Each structure stands twice: as structure tokens, then as C-alpha cells.
Structure 1
Amino acid sequence: MAAHSSLIIFISELRKSIRRLGLSLFLVTLTIFFLSPQMLRYVQEHLAEKLYFFSVAGPFLAHVKMSLFGAVFVLMPWLLTVLWKAMGKPFKVEGKQLFFFVLFTCLLFYAGTMFCYFVTLPFGIKFLLGFGSEELKPVISVGRFVNFVTLFILAFGAIFELPIFMVFMAKVGVCPRSFFERNRRYALLMIAIVAALLTPTPDVVNMLLMGGPLYILYEAGIVILMIMRIK
């Protein structure tokens, strides 16, 4: 019964901001659309890839996706604030506690996206394209390239928030620290499944590039709980 009422509070709190969020996402996407050619050129130069398109609408749709990604990236602090307010309401997490949860979640999200963009993506793309040869030349669609890059970056931003959500669940009594310590093997299995679902391509290399840091973050969450003496 308590879980049911908490869910109702969470949903009702979330609904208060959903329209404003939707409108803001649309307006920011529209604004960034005019900058999307420069964004795409920068990403393309960073990853050193020549792109092609195979349909008339291909470039336009790629720029729309890039603009939407940019809007989500820019609005993430607000999105996370809304999420944490809704999650914290049933458990009376507010004031300074809420501020710190929002702050560290934002920092971890942007740290994850930067780590992916500057470390994981260049290494992963270089490795995967290394299987090309004189007879086997890569021809990369702009649409698939944008899908791959944006989904991978957002996925890394999301998984880097794992420690803070572990702290939240332990603090409100949903999952104590002993639960995380006792279920490492199941966590490893879940991490493998999540990595398989979130990576844009189903190859083992990309799964390891995501699953490895995710498990390290899981262990980091346990260490943080120990340091903060949250049982």
C-alpha cells in the first residue's frame, strides 16, 4: 500500500512539470536546429569519419536528431531537478539533500558524456573500423552515425549516475548497503543485459566499453555508502 501511494505521489509531482518540459524541449530543439550543421561537423571531425546519405530526407532527419540530442543535453539539469523532486517527495527528501542529489547527478551525467565522447567513442569506432581493408571500405550513413553517437553518449551519461541512485535507495531504506554487497553476481548479470540493450550495436567490444565502467561505478557506489556510513 505504501509503495502504491508513493507511486501516485511520484506521478502527480511529475505531471506538474511535464507540459513545460515538453514545450521547452521543442523550443530548444528548434533553436539548436540552426546550429546543428556546425555540431555535426565538429563531431564528424572529432571522430574523423566521412559520412554519406542514402535517402533524400537523410541529412534533414540527422540534423533533427542532433538538435533533439542537444536540447536534452542542455536541459538535463532541469530534467533531473524535476525527476528528483518527484522521487524525493514520497520520502521527504527536500532542501539541501535534494540540492545535493540534483547537483551530483548532473555532475555525474556530464562526466559520463565527456568520458564517452573523448575516450570511449574514439577508441570504439577506431577498433570497429579497424576491420576494414582495401577490399572492405566503410560507407557510413549520416543517420546511423548520429544515432550511434547520440545514443551512446546519452547512455553513458545515464549509467554514470548509478552511484548516486544507490546512495538514494540506501538512504530512504529501499535497498540497504548489504543488499548491494550481497548481490554482486546478479548486478554483474544485470549490467551485461543493460549494456547489451543500451549499446547501439550488439558487438562484444561496445558492450565491454559500457559494461566495464558500469560495474566499476557499482563498486564505487558501495564504497561511497561505506564512507558515508549508510547501512
Structure 2
Amino acid sequence: MAAHIKLITFVGELRKSIRNLALILALLTLVVFFLSPQLLQFVQQHLANKLYFFSVAGPFLAHVKLSLFAALYALMPWFATVLWRAMGKPFGVGPGQLFFFIFFTCLLFYVGTIFCYFITLPFGIKFLLGFGSEELKPVISIGKFVNFVTIFILAFGTIFELPIFMVFSAKVGVFSRTFFEKNRRYALLLIAILSALLTPTPDIVNMLLMGGPLYLLYESGIVILKVLRFKPADSSSPQA
């Protein structure tokens, strides 16, 4: 199957579920909005400072963003199912293999977000606020804080998917384990660039907090491929 036909098949499968996904996402965001004050208290646990707003619509928009984030977080298994079904059809991935990819995509995503919330995020906030002094007091807006937390958490959940996509690329014959092993230096460079782009602040500490785990995930992907022992023959028979 030619590459462009695979792409058309993927987009076609994806479009079948986009409307339903958007509708459910909007409805769930509306439901969560009424619980957003309690949700804000939960995400604010790592911040001892009070939050402020500098525009009339500031608090409302911040609660909408937080509600949308919570809805996306809750619907992650559905998003993963839609994505992998769309990717699996053009590459001939069987139902059993699809379950494997969907399950571990959700698992890695939630592990990444939990790791961020309980380990990386508190350290990052403490480090950044540590530059305050008697003359330099932090005044944090609710909008900036919600953006910082949600982007940071979602970014970590996304990058933790690296091993599963490495396995998928090897399974369908796009990249082999040898390719990943030979291109470690380029992977390290790309990880540094992604860390700079995905972290909400450009400081080196937040980049390392994201880049370090991402490189470890890259190496773990290589180890997983060694265990699974994918061979070049998989490219011709992806369902083997």
C-alpha cells in the first residue's frame, strides 16, 4: 500500500470519530466547569502563594481552560482508541495488537502526568519561585498559573508515549531497533529542542526535568525492542 493511500485511509478513519469526540469533549468540559473551583484548589497545592487576576474575564477563562484540560485528561482512553484504530487500519495491525498499543498508550500517558504532578512540577515551581526576595515578591495570575500547570502536565504525558511509538514504528517496518541505536546523538539533539519548545518556561532546569526522562524513555524503547526482537521481516508482514 502506497504511503499516500495509507495517509488517506488514516485521515478517513480519524474523521469518522472527530465529530463525536468534539461533542463529548465540549459537554464534559461544561460539566467539569461547575467543579473547576475544587479542581483549581487541587492543582494549586504545590503553590503556597495566592493567585491574582488582571482582567475582568481572567478567572472565567482560567476555569474554562482548566475544565478543558480535565476533560481531555479524562477522555484520554477514548482519544487513544480513536488514534490507534485509525493508525492500525492502513498498517494492518490486528485487534490484539491494537489493544496492546491502546493500553500502554494510556498507561504511559497517565504515568507521565502523575510523575510530572508529584515530582517534576513541585520542584520546578519551588526552583522558579526561589528567585524571589524581600524586594521581589511573586504576583502570579490565575491564567498564567493554569497555563503553566496544564501545558507542563500534558507535555509530560505526551513525551512519555515515546517507547510505544518506537515499538509501533519498528512493528510496521518504518524504523528498526538498529536505527534508534545508531542515531542516539541525533535523538539527544531532538530531545533538547523538544524540551525547549514544550516546557512553559525557557530555563535550563525545566528543560532538564523534561529532557532527562525523555532520553531515559528513548533508551527504554530500545531495550523493549531488544526484548521483543523485531526483525526487518516485520515490515513486510506487520501482523506477524
TM-score interval w.r.t. the shorter chain?
over 0.9
Identify the residue that residue 123 of structure 1 maps to in structure 2.
123
> What CA deviation, in whole Å up to 9, does each residue of 1:47-79 have, x standing for no partner?
333211111100000000000000000000000
> What CA deviation, in whole Å up to 9, does each residue of 1:115-150 have, x standing for no partner?
000000000110111111111111101000000000
Residues 5-44 of structure 1 mapped to structure 2, 5 A cutoff: 5-44=5-44
Identify the residue that residue 160 of structure 1 maps to in structure 2.
160
- 1:6 Cα deviation after fit: 0.6
> What CA deviation, in whole Å up to 9, does each residue of 1:72-96 have, x standing for no partner?
0000000010000011111111211
Unpaired runs of 5+ residues, structure 2, are: 232-240
CA distance in 2, matches of 1:196, 1:132: 23
Identify the residue that residue 210 of structure 2 maps to in structure 1.
210
List, as ranges, runs of 4+ consecutive aligned residues in structure 1 with deviation greater than 4 Å: none
* Aligned-partner residue type, residue 230 of structure 1: F
Percent of pairs identical after alignment? 77
> What CA deviation, in whole Å up to 9, does each residue of 1:13-41 have, x standing for no partner?
00000000000000000000000010001
CA RMSD in angstroms comes to 0.9
Identify the residue that residue 235 of structure 2 maps to in structure 1.
none
* Aligned-partner residue type, residue 215 of structure 1: Y
Identify the residue that residue 114 of structure 1 maps to in structure 2.
114
Count of residues in correspondence between the two structures: 231
- Match of 1:155, SS state, is helix
Residues 33-72 of structure 1 mapped to structure 2, 5 A cutoff: 33-72=33-72
TM-score by length of 1: 0.98
Identify the residue that residue 82 of structure 1 maps to in structure 2.
82
Unpaired runs of 5+ residues, structure 1, are: none
* Aligned-partner residue type, residue 102 of structure 1: I
* Aligned-partner residue type, residue 93 of structure 2: V
- 1:46 Cα deviation after fit: 3.6
